[in-house]
Structure 1
């Protein structure tokens, strides 16, 4: 697979993730929340705080998709091992860390103000773990890409 094809596939995956995210955040979550609020009227007051909180957690995810797109563009230009991509991956790692913190703190706050259940906080730890894994992987890739960019620059100077 050449760089152009890889870039195209990455862009298609990024678009797919963005569309799926829109479906989850703006269709699935509101519908499920309304269904829960109608079935359990005591939770009706929790609908909008939870919905706003979950929408807030989408912001770092979509920002990360933007930097993924920038990285895919660089790959398409046959510039995969560059300082730019290393910086983009570092930013993606930081955005994943921010999303994990936001998600955990938001769940804890909703628990403290009695709009959540301890089981929800415990279950959210699985999502937090996935976010931490993404952050660590992006950070590791950033370091590897940066090392490769330095080697590439040194080789260009020698030739």
Structure 2
């Protein structure tokens, strides 16, 4: 699933004398950033001919000013589900036919009110979907594109069973 308690995972780094002890950094990062960060930390160059998706967050580890990224994208390891997350919101797209999700992470941090069907959010949804699709156009390899695979896990096919109302929460075979 793409809920915050599954994707917002803390990372701990320790290197006495180099990484400040007890420092807490709230910047958004992704597993895609780990390899570039470790290479940067070790003073090694990025591999030639490799299009690494992530970027280094070494300044954040060292307690230096860090330009936080605008968004984090998650894909493929979750089958036919893709997500883009900003500091304010999260858009989840399930291919090919949904149900999709839009969460206001500021006003609804527990993700209880899916705003995907809210007409006032149409512009935000279009913008996030466009940014996400542009990211995939640049980085996905079509022959292993998870959005095109046959996935049967409940968390990939639709939101997991949580209290809520509306079509995004309806489970197969459930009475309405």
Q: Given the two structures, how large is their TM-score scaled by the length of structure 1? A: 0.34
Q: Looking at both structures, which has the greater relative contact order when contacts are Cα pairs under 8 Å and sequence separation is at least 6?
A: 1
Greater share of strand: 2
Q: Given the two structures, how large is their TM-score scaled by the length of structure 2? A: 0.32
